[in-house]
Amino acid sequence: MRTSTVLLLICIASSVFAAPNTSAKVIELLQSGSKAADAVDSALQVLYDLEAANSDAQDAADELNRTQQAAGEAEIEDLRQIAEANQASGNAATEHRKYLESEIADTEAYLEWIENRRAEIHAREEELQDQRCYSNSIFVRALKNLADGLQAIDLLRNDVLPAADRADGTVELVSIKDATKKLSAYKNLFNEQAIAEFEQLAGHVEDATDNAQAGLELLRAGDAATGRGVSGGDVNEQIHNLLTKFEDQLEAEIENLKENEIKAAWALAVWLQDSEEELNNLANEEERRETYLEKLNISVQAARAQEAKAWEIFHQSAQAYADSIAELQRKGDAYIADKHQREDENALIAEVIKLFREQVANLARNPSTARNQNVSDRGQIESNVNAAIN
């Protein structure tokens, strides 16, 4: 029931009691007995029916509101769970996309490392090969110098020992001096002690002027060194021992040089073998990672599309959730507004019933006074109606 209907009834009721002729007729009806009572009861019943209809409408509205609130809350909960699930799907899609992008970055960095490592191995190999070539040249020169030293010792042995083995026990001065000069050319090949011994032996004949004096000097050197006289055989033995010592030293250096050269060559061969194996592993790893990178690039495109779709679905579900809340709020507000309107309508109906009863009672008690009061009562009714509406 709308407010306009109630207002219409109020206006009709007020007009009836305010009109002079109608008022007189009502008075006559009241004085006629049973007919008047029936007319009043009928009028009141209409007002009661209006009030009951409004109450029934409110009861129906209350039931509808409870149903709508329950259904709306259930729908909101369902939409909330859907939105949360869609949000979780969006987060998962984002994490998957970030993981793929991280894998791509790591794989690209690893491939770059493989390329740098390969270049480093090649550069190191070239450097070692150059060093090996230089080392080989040094080895050959050192080996030649040592071989020349051995050859010089053989020449000295052939030159000096026959001279030292003369029958008269003397040593040719020229042979000793020539041997000293020849050994000086290879001085860097012998240890200092051996050279010092040979120079000491030769030093005794440096100032001698002939072979006889040189022989005497060697004999004196032998006496000073051994505490006994030195025969020609002793001089021969000293020279032979010194030359043998030189020769042993050079042969030991040759063996040491060869051993070091073999070790260096072996170390290089082992390094080259290990490097070749590492290069093969790098090539295999590079091929495997490049294949993996191609798959990642394809996967990340699909992941980005899936992520965009997941977040689109989430935003749609979130909007549906928000719209459901807003719709339930709108229905609740409409229910409250209708309820207040019906309460106002019932209040107006109750006011009309009250005024109607008062007018009928006034007419029954004092008809003459009631006629004069009708106009003011009508103004009061209209004032009450306006107050209720406002």
The number of distinct structural domains making up the chain is: 2
Contact 1, 344 (CB under 8 A): no
* Residue 189 confidence (pLDDT): 55
* Residue 237 confidence (pLDDT): 73
- Token pair for residue 326? 């807003």
Low-confidence ranges of the chain (pLDDT < 70): 1-40, 159-236, 239, 363-390
> Rounded CA gap, 370 and 129, in Å?
137
Q: Does a structural domain hold residue 13?
A: yes
Q: Does a structural domain hold residue 109?
A: no
Q: Examine the domain organization and report whether 195 and 245 are in the same domain.
A: yes
* Residue 307 confidence (pLDDT): 97
- Which residue matches tokens 């002027």? 209
* Residue 80 confidence (pLDDT): 96
* Residue 342 confidence (pLDDT): 87
Q: Examine the domain organization and report whether 86 and 146 are in the same domain.
A: no
Q: Residue 170: give its domain's CATH number.
A: 1.20.120
Q: What is the DSSP letter of 167?
A: T
Q: Examine the domain organization and report whether 162 and 238 are in the same domain.
A: yes
* Residue 38 confidence (pLDDT): 66
**Amino acid at position 276, single letter:** E
- CA atoms in the 13 A half-sphere facing the CB of 248: 7
Contact 30, 360 (CB under 8 A): yes
Q: What three-state secondary structure class fits 231?
A: coil
Phi, psi of 191 (to 5 degrees): -75, 160
Q: Examine the domain organization and report whether 56 and 139 are in the same domain.
A: no
* Residue 252 confidence (pLDDT): 87
* Residue 348 confidence (pLDDT): 87
Query: What angle separates helix 232-365 from helix 211-226, to the nearest 10 degrees?
Result: 60
> Rounded CA gap, 166 and 222, in Å?
17
State the pTM of this model. Answer: 0.57
In sequence order, what DSSP letters do the residues of 114-142 get, joined into one string? HHHHHHHHHHHHHHHHHHHHHHHHHHHHH
